[in-house]
Amino acid sequence: MATNQITGGEAMVRMLKLHGVNVIFGLCGDTSLPFYDALYRTAGDMTHVLTRDERHAGYMADAYARVTGRVGVCEGPSGGGATYIAPGLVEANESSIPILAITTDISVSGRGRYTLTELDQEAMFGPLTKFTQVIDNAVDIPRVMRRAFKEMTTGRPGSAHIGLPFDVQRQPVDEADIWAEPEYGRYPARRTGPEPDAVKAAAELIAKAKQPLFICGGGVVISGAEQELEALAKKIDTPIATTISGQGSIADDHLLSVGVVGSNGGTMPTRRVVDAADLIIFVGCRAGSVTTERWQHPAPGKVKIIHIDVDPGVIGANYRPDAAIVGDARLSLASLLNAVEEREAGGAKELVTRARKDKYGEFRELAKSTAVPIRPERIVDTMQRVLPADTVVVADPGTPCPYFSAYYQSRETGRSFISNRAHGALGFALPAVVGAYYGRSGSKCVAVMGDGSFGMAVGELETIRRLGIPVTMVVISNSVFGWIKAGQKSGYDGRYFSVDFTRTDHAAVAAAYGIKTWTVREPGDLEQALKEAVEADEPTLVDVISQPLQEAKAPVSEWVA
C-alpha cells in the first residue's frame, strides 16, 4: 500500500510536535536551511525563539525544562554553532535536566572532503550528553527521535544531541513511520520503584536514630517528591536541608527547613545542624564536594548514611551507605513513609529555629546597612520584599549564587530558584530567564547576575527587547570577577592577579537596546527602583553598584574560615 512521504526536515518537526514540544530556542545557519523551511511550512503553533548565540539557546532550553517538567529543545547549525551549543548540553546533563539539541551538519556526501564546518559531532557530544547520534539516513529520524526522548526522560534524566546532515533533511520519510509515545516528552517518565528490603533497612536505621537529617538534592524537585518528603519529615520529626539545586524541595519558611548547606550558600549555623546529626538521609543528592564542604560535613565514618537516588552509580561514590535505596525519589519516599513508625518529637523544630535565628541575625544587620557601595545582603533583603511569592529567580554563579541560595526564601515548593551548579559557567542567568519566562509566563521571572556574567551574555538583550517579554534583570555591579578575587584573598594572601576590570554603565548599555533601566548607587533608592522595575509590563534592568565580593561577608565557608 502506498504511503505519503515527507522530507527529513518535516519528519523532525513532526516528531517534536508529537512529543509535546511547543517552543524551540535556536540560531540559523546554512546547514539548517531545509529544517527552517520545514518549520516555516509545518510548525503550526510551535514557537521558534531566535537567539543571538547558540550557547544561550541551550541555557534557555535548560531553564524552560526546569520550570515545566518538559523536555527543552534548542538547535543550531554545524561547525561553530555545534561547538557553541555544547556548554548548555553539558550543564543540563550534569544537572539531570533533559534538553535536546539538534545541530544540523554538512551533507553525508561531503565528509572527508574538507567541507566547510566539517566536525565529528558524535565524538564531540558523546562525553557531554546521555545520548547522541548523527542521523545518516532520513528513514531513521523517527526511530532515533523516539530513543532520544526515552533516554532523556527515563532513569536519571539528561541531555541528548541529534545531528541532522543537510542532505538527510531533504530525503524522503514514510509518513506512516511518524509516531511517538508522548509520555517521554515529560520527566521523569517510567519511574522505577525501590526494593522492599532496602526500604526496610532504611526504616530500621531511622527507628534507631536520635537526630536524623535529610539532605536533598535536585532529585526531589525533578521527581516532584515534595509532598512525600514533607509527610515523611513530619512523621519522623526530621529537619530538611538542601543543596542549591535542591531548593524547592521544601518551602524555605517551613518549620523543618534548615535551608542550603555546604560551602556555597551554607552558613556556620546550618553546618552545626549537619554536624549534630547521627543519621544523614541523602535524597536525589550526589553528596559532592560543595554540599559536604569537601566531604567534611558530614564527617565520613562518624554518622550513619541512607542514600536514595535513581542513579545507582551515585550511591557509595563519596560515603559508605548503611542503607541504599535505588529508585525514583517520589516512589522511594512514599515507600519509606509507609514503612517507618511515627517518631516522638525529638526537638527538630527547636533545632531548626535556633539555626535560622543565628543564620539570619547577622544577615539582617548587614541588610540594614546604609553603606556605599550597597551591601549584597541589602539587595537580597529588598528583593525578598518586592518580588511576588511565585517569582522565578535565575541566579548566575559568582556573587548572586551564595547570597541568594543562603538568604532568599522561596515560599513555595517546586522549581522557583535556578542556578547552574554543575559547571557554574558565567553568562547563564540573562538568557536562561527567557526560557523560564516561556515555561512559566504567568509568574514574574527575574535574572540576577554579576557584571562579569552580563558581559558574556549582553547580546540577548536584543532578544528580550524584540520579544517584549516583561522579565527583570538585576546586575550586581562591582567591576571584578569577585569569586576568584575572594579566593585569592582567602587562599593566596591577597595576591590579586588579573581579576579586576573597568566599570560598565550597564543601564546605558541596556537602554541602547531599548530596555527600561535604573542605576542605583544609594541604598535608600534601591527598593523603589526594584519595585518599579518588577511592576513594569516590559523588559527592565536595574544596575546596582555593589560592594565587591572579596570585601563582603559572603556565605562561603572557605572564606569565613
Query: Which runs of E-coded beta strand occur in 237-374?
Result: 240-242, 257-260, 279-283, 304-309, 323-326
Q: Does domain 5-185 have CATH number 3.40.50.300?
A: no
Cell of 538: 516590559
Cell of 49: 525563539
pLDDT (0 to 100) of residue 1: 46
The verdict on pTM exceeding 0.85 is: yes
Residues in the chain: 561
Helices (H) and strands (E) in the chain, counts: 21, 20
Peptide bond into 431 cis (omega under 30): no
The helix/strand/coil state of 471 is coil
**CA-based radius of gyration for the chain:** 24
Instruction: Delimit the domains of the chain by residue range.
Output: 5-185, 196-350, 368-560
HSE on the CB side for 277, CA within 13 Å? 31
Q: Tell me, which fold does domain 368-560 have in CATH?
A: Rossmann fold (3.40.50)
Q: Quick: pLDDT tens for 258-307.
A: 999 999 999 999 999 999 999 999 999 999 999 999 999 999 999 999 99
Q: Quick: pLDDT tens for 167-218.
A: 999 999 999 999 999 999 999 999 999 999 999 999 999 999 999 999 999 9
Q: 536: closest CA among 519, 508, 516? A: 516
Q: Quick: pLDDT tens for 13-72.
A: 999 999 999 999 999 999 999 999 999 999 999 999 999 999 999 999 999 999 999 999
User: Do residues 125 and 154 touch, judged by C-beta distance below 8 A?
Assistant: no
Average pLDDT over residues 449-463: 97
Angle between the N-to-C axes of helices 33-42 and 8-18, in degrees from 0 to 180, rounded to the nearest 10: 50
d(CA 120, CA 135): 12
Same fold across 5-185 and 196-350: yes
**Element of type H or E holding 528:** helix 526-535
User: Do residues 494 and 468 touch, judged by C-beta distance below 8 A?
Assistant: no
- 456-489 exposure pattern, b = at least 16 Cβ within 10 A, e = fewer: bbbebbbbbbebebbbbbbbbbbbbbbbbbbbbb
Angle between the N-to-C axes of helices 329-339 and 196-208, in degrees from 0 to 180, rounded to the nearest 10: 60
User: What type of residue sits at position 14?
Assistant: R
Q: Tell me, which fold does domain 196-350 have in CATH?
A: Rossmann fold (3.40.50)
